[in-house]
Every structure is written in structure tokens, then in C-alpha cells.
Amino acid sequence: MAIRRAELPDLSACARLYVEVCDADFHWRPAGFFRAQEFLGYAEHEELWVAEPDGAIAGFLSYFAPEHFLHSLYVRRGARGQGIGAALIAHARAHYGVPHSLKVDVPNEAARRFYERLGYAEIRSGATDGVDWIELRSA
């Protein structure tokens, strides 16, 4: 599977993927909560990596290097279960070479199980906009 740094033409595909996955998976957020413009604003300040198992973007990871923070990891619903998310995490670990943190909404049980399998540990918790979250740290 090819994992590469995103290029400018990839941003619109990643923004569409962001909205598509969030609208489908984040049932505890109101409809329309996730917007492509919001993603594009974050992406300006982060390093974005895309996974292309068959030549098309099936997932991406965004990383805020100054704080060693994995901000986003999204995989297209039809491409899940193929190791794309784990491959993106492995790439980030190898590329940045330092432990990193991330936040996950408590209702996102699938993501919580995924990160637990990869050895992440909870370091703190909180709430934003009425939704509880936990912050995890990589090993």
C-alpha cells in the first residue's frame, strides 16, 4: 500500500472523505457539524499523509508536529478492515520517531478499541461541546 505526503490536489478529496466519514460515524454530533472548510483550515497547519491501497485515497492521517499530536485518522467505510488505519499509524510512528497523543470522543467505541489494540493508553479526559473525550498516548 502506498502512503505518501498529501499534495495540494489531494486536499479536496481528503476534505470530502472527512465529511463523509464523520457524517456517517459521529452519530452523537448534529447533522452538518463537520464541514470541509473546517478540515481545510486544520490541514493548513498540519502534515497530511494519504493511503492509497489501489491508487485512490482510501484514508488519511493529519499530524500537528510541533505538539506531536495526531489530529485526524479517517478511513473510508468501504476500505476498513484492510489495515489502512494501522498502516498510517505505523507510518507516523516511523516517520516522526517520537510518542504522540490524540483525542477520541468517548462515544466512538470503534476508534477506542482500535487505538487500544495498537497500545495507546489514556492520559487524561475532558469534554467539549457536551461530548466527553479521552486523550491517548502512543507507546
pLDDT at 34 (0 to 100): 94
Topology adopted by domain 2-98: Aminopeptidase (3.40.630)
1 pLDDT higher than 90: no
Q: How far is CA 134 from CA 6, 18, 25, 102, 106, in A?
A: 28, 20, 17, 8, 6
pLDDT at 113 (0 to 100): 96
pLDDT at 31 (0 to 100): 84
3-state helix, strand, coil in the chain (%, to 5): 40, 30, 30
Task: Indicate the domain borders of the chain.
Answer: 2-98
Residues 31-42, mean pLDDT to the nearest whole number: 92
